[in-house]
């Protein structure tokens, strides 16, 4: 079996196992009235600030940013995947197995991408009538493609952060929370990046969502294909960067954990 | 009272050992950046009071939610929930004490928000009615601790506390008008918002930062206390009923 086919096989099995875990954790009811409702109200909460500003332009800016970012924000929970494995007692086995544990963990957490996409699609469809916002249906397929792109790039950031959490499990709740809030605050989700100093805006360019959201705003605004593709391309580049960072660091972090025993013995 | 004091001390020791409990305090400056960035970026400096009150209330509520869910969840996980419930000090007293401790800690959010406003956005936040501000913060803290008991009762009963915990923040922020006043929400939502003590707290806190004279401060403080007391009573009864039920069924320690 070729290397690619092997990785694909492991990813497929891991993904199936992850979806199965997710299905055992949530019922349709608890997902809809737990996770989805929470995300819809989050989008509505931030969008309502546009009403406070008495500005339809701000209502639209806040809605688009938060509805689209919902997918990405949802994917960041994948950061804690290593903690779940540790609690289940499977982490040492994964690290010791001949297959890369990163491939397994990435596969096991792919349901977060689907979950995040459901959040965004739900928000894009259900919240607009509350605020008289219109999303042009003709641009919905392209919008969806950009949302998928941002979810995946953020997922790669989450896998990188997952490696860090592998070494410092006590930060398992803090790391995704800080990442989530950093994206919400500085990547143009609710606040235009022009509000921040140039250096902050440049740094945000290395994070997922920033360029993808630029592309989305262009798509729903003037719709210049060149500008949309540039934003999408930059988002792709950022995602690739985080994927490479994950591949480079994860094995080292796992090996370090094997050496000092923290793979098994650590407070999570 | 001894049990309450012991619960407060216990929680402070737990927080010192597990800083994950301070996540909401850590989140405060980010929320301050978001809200201040939105209103000041839009050139609406007149809404600065809204932008600085919201992160404070979000930290307060978020901490209470986190801890009331986590007490049950983590004690269950550690296998000590049965022991805690079996002690002579009532479980509601333990929960109240532990929530009171984190509520007091969450007031750090006031300093954090002020620092972001002052040094991040150059905003001068002037307290025009300091007595009203202080009184509102105190009664809001007490009401938060009281209401957290209701949440703890649900967490004992719920299959997993986290599912419920994750659902209870943004709906409350929206309904309680922590940044957007209830008057800007659809009319049918307002009565629900008024049933939340946070909506009264948000109004009073915003007004205390405005130079305009405040009216009916005492009655409104009374409403916050009343809603907190109702939460405490309902919570104690609910917890009693729920604990009895899970003990009879033998499901106290099971998720």
Structure confidence at residue A167 (pLDDT):
77
How far does CA A229 lie from the centroid of its chain?
20
Q: Which residues contact B118 (CB under 8 A, 6 or more apart)?
A: B124, B125
Q: Interface pTM (ipTM) of the complex?
A: 0.91
Contact B246, B156 (CB under 8 A): yes
Mean pLDDT of A134-146: 93
In chain A, the residue whose alpha carbon lies closest to the alpha carbon of B158 is: A30
Report yes or no: A132 and A52 within 8 Å, Cβ to Cβ.
no
pLDDT at B147 over 50: yes
CB B37 within 8 A of CB A191: yes
| Alpha-carbon distances of A177 from A78, A161, B30, B173, rounded to whole Å | 12, 11, 10, 18
- Mean pLDDT, all residues of chain B: 87
Choose from A195, A204, A267 for mutation: most chain B CBs within 10 A. A195
Q: Say if the Cβ atoms of B40 and A173 lie within 8 Å.
A: no
Tokens of residue A103, six digits: 């491939």
Res. A211 pLDDT band, cuts 50 70 90: very high
Q: Does B14 touch chain A (CB under 8 A)?
A: no
Of A158, A146, A156, A152, nearest to A231 by C-alpha is: A146
Token reading at B123: 């905003």
Shortest Cα–Cα distance, B8 to chain A (Å):
23
Contact A48 B184 (CB under 8 A): yes
Round to whole Å and give the CA distance between A69 and A266: 33
pLDDT in tens, B72-96: 777 777 777 778 888 888 888 888 8
Angstrom distance (rounded) from CA A211 to CA B134:
44
Q: Does B158 touch chain A (CB under 8 A)?
A: no
Reading the block at residue B173, the tokens are 């922020």
What is the Cα–Cα distance from A207 to B129, expressed in whole angstroms?
Answer: 42
Which residue has 């544990």 as its token pair? Answer: A101
Task: Quote the percentage of chain A above a pLDDT of 90.
Answer: 56
Q: At B129, is the pLDDT very low, low, confident or very high (cuts 50, 70, 90)? A: very high
3 state SS of A94: helix
Q: Does B83 touch chain A (CB under 8 A)?
A: no
Q: What residues have CB less than 8 Å from B225, skipping those under 6 apart?
A: B139, B142, B143
Q: A74-83, A165-174, A244-253, B113-122: which has the highest mean pLDDT?
A: B113-122
Count Cα atoms within 13 angstroms, Cβ side, for A76: 20
- HEC string of chain B equals CHHHHHHHHHHHHHHHHCHHHHHHHHHHHHHHHHHHHHHHHCCCHHHHHHHHHHHHHHHHHHHHHHHHHHHHHHHHHHCCHHHHHHCCCCHHHHHHHHHHHHHHHHCHHHHHHHHHHHHHCCCCCCCCCHHHHHHHHHHHHHHHHHHHHHHHHHHHHCCCHHHHHHHCCHHHHHHCCCCCCHHHCCHHHHHHHHCCHHHHHHHHHHHHCCCCCCCCHHHHHHHHHHHHHHHHHHHHHHHHHHHHHHHHHCCCCCC
User: Are A35 and B167 an interchain contact pair (Cβ–Cβ within 8 Å)?
Assistant: yes
Distance (Å, whole) CA B203 – CA B127: 14
* Spatial distance between the Cα atoms of B119 and B31, rounded to a whole number of angstroms: 15
A239 burial class (0-12, 13-18, 19+ CB within 10 angstroms)?
buried
- pLDDT at position A268 over 50: no
8 Å CB contact of B179 and A52? yes
3-state secondary structure of A267: coil
Could B42 and A185 be called an inter-chain contact, meaning their C-beta atoms sit closer than 8 Å?
no
Distance from the B76 Cα atom to the nearest Cα atom in chain A, whole angstroms: 15
pLDDT at B173 over 80: yes
Give the pLDDT of residue B186: 86
In the Cβ-directed half-sphere of A9, how many Cα atoms lie within 13 Å? 7
Residue B145 has pLDDT above 60, yes or no: yes
**pLDDT the model gives residue A266:** 54
Answer whether A195 sits within 8 Å of B40, measured CB to CB. Answer: yes
pLDDT in tens, A161-206: 988 887 777 788 889 999 999 999 999 999 999 999 999 999 999 9
Q: What distance in Å separates the CA atoms of residue B133 and residue B35, rounded to the nearest whole number?
A: 20
pLDDT digits (tens, 9 = 90+) for A57-110: 999 999 999 999 999 988 998 888 777 777 777 777 777 778 877 888 888 888
Are A207 and A182 in contact, with CB atoms under 8 Å apart? yes
Please tell me if residue B246 touches chain A, with a CB cutoff of 8 Å.
no
- Mutation target for A interface from B33, B172, B181: give the one with most A CBs within 10 A: B33
Q: How far is B175 from A253, CA to CA, in rounded Å? A: 44
Question: How confident is the model over A23-48, as pLDDT tens digits?
Answer: 887 888 888 888 899 999 999 999 99
The residue of B24, B157, B170, B183 whose CB has the most chain A CBs within 10 angstroms, and thus the best one to mutate to test that interface, is: B170
Residue B255: pLDDT over 60? no
Q: Say if residues A112 and A77 touch (Cβ distance below 8 Å).
A: yes
Bigger pLDDT: A246 or B66? A246
Residue with the bigger pLDDT between A263 and A146: it is: A146
Contacts of A177 in chain B (CB under 8 A): 23, 26-27
Residue A206's contacts (CB-CB under 8 Å, 6 or more residues apart) are: A238, A241
Angle formed at CA B137 by CA B136 and CA B143, multiple of 5 degrees: 85
Query: How many angstroms away from the CA of A227 is the closest CA of chain B?
Result: 24
Quote the pLDDT of residue B159.
57
Q: Are B73 and B161 in contact (CB under 8 A)?
A: yes
Please give, rounded to a whole number of angstroms, the shortest distance from the CA of B94 to a CA of chain A. Answer: 24
Please tell me the distance from the alpha carbon of residue A51 to that of residue B139, in angstroms, as a whole number.
29
Chain B residue whose CA is closest to A33: B167
> What is the reported pLDDT for B48?
94
Does B38 sit within 8 Å of A58, measured CB to CB? Answer: yes
Nearest to B164 by CA among B65, B25, B51: B65
**Mean model confidence pLDDT for chain A:** 89
Closest-CA distance, B2 to chain A, in angstroms, reads 31
Which of A126-140, B143-157, B176-190, B202-216 has the least mean pLDDT? Answer: B143-157
Higher pLDDT, B42 or A87: B42
Place of tokens 């839009």: B42
> Between B207 and B6, where is the model more confident?
B207
Residue B86 tokens, joined? 């079996």
- Residue-by-residue DSSP string for A193-239: GGGS-HHHHHHHTTSTTHHHHHHHHHHHTT--HHHHHHHHHHHHHHH
Sort out which chain A residues have CB atoms less than 8 A from B76's CB and list them: none
pLDDT given for residue B114 in this prediction = 94
């Amino acid at each position: 079996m070729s290397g690619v086919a092997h990785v694909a096989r492991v990813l497929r099995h891991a993904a199936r196992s992850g979806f199965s875990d997710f299905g055992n954790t949530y019922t349709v009811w608890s997902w809809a009235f737990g996770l989805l409702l929470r995300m819809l109200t989050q989008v509505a909460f931030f969008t309502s600030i546009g009403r406070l500003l008495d500005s339809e332009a701000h209502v639209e800016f806040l809605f688009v940013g938060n509805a689209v970012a919902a997918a990405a924000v949802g994917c960041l929970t994948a950061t804690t995947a290593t903690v779940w494995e540790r609690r289940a007692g499977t982490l040492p086995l994964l690290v010791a197995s001949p297959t890369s544990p990163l491939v397994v963990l990435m596969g096991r957490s792919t349901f977060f991408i689907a979950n995040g996409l459901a959040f965004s699609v739900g928000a894009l469809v259900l919240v607009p009538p509350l605020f008289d916002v219109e999303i042009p249906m003709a641009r919905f397929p392209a919008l969806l493609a950009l949302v998928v792109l941002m979810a995946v790039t953020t997922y790669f950031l989450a896998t990188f952060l997952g490696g860090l959490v592998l070494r410092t499990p006590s930060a398992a709740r803090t790391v995704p929370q800080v990442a989530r809030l950093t994206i919400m605050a500085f990547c143009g989700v609710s606040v235009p990046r022009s509000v921040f100093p140039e250096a902050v805006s440049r740094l945000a360019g290395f994070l997922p969502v920033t360029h993808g959201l630029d592309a989305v705003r262009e798509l729903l605004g003037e719709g210049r294909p060149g500008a949309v593709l540039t934003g999408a391309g930059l988002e792709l580049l950022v995602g690739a960067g985080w994927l490479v960072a994950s591949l480079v660091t994860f094995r080292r972090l796992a090996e370090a954990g094997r050496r000092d025993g923290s793979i098994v013995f650590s407070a999570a | 009272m001894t049990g309450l004091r012991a619960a407060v001390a216990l929680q402070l020791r737990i927080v010192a050992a597990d800083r994950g409990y301070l996540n909401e305090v850590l989140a405060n400056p980010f929320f301050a950046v978001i809200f201040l960035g939105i209103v000041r970026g839009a050139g609406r400096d007149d809404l600065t009071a809204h932008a600085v009150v919201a992160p404070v209330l979000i930290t307060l509520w978020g901490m209470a939610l986190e801890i009331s869910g986590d007490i049950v969840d983590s004690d269950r996980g550690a296998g000590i929930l049965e022991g805690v419930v079996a002690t002579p000090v009532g479980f509601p007293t333990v929960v109240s004490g532990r929530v009171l401790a984190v509520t007091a800690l969450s007031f750090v959010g006031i300093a954090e928000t002020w620092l972001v406003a002052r040094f991040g956005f150059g905003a001068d936040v002037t307290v025009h009615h300091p007595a009203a501000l202080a009184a509102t913060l105190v009664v809001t803290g007490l009401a938060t601790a009281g209401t957290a008991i209701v949440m703890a009762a649900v967490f004992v009963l719920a299959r997993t506390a986290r599912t419920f915990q994750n659902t209870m923040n943004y709906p409350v922020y929206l309904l309680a008008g922590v940044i957007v006043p209830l008057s800007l929400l659809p009319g049918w939502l307002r009565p629900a918002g008024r049933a939340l003590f946070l909506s009264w707290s948000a109004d009073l806190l915003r007004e205390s930062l405005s130079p305009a004279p405040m009216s009916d401060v005492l009655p409104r403080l009374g409403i916050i206390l009343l809603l907190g007391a109702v939460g405490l009573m309902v919570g104690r009864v609910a917890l009693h009923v729920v604990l009895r039920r899970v003990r009879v069924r033998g499901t106290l320690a099971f998720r």
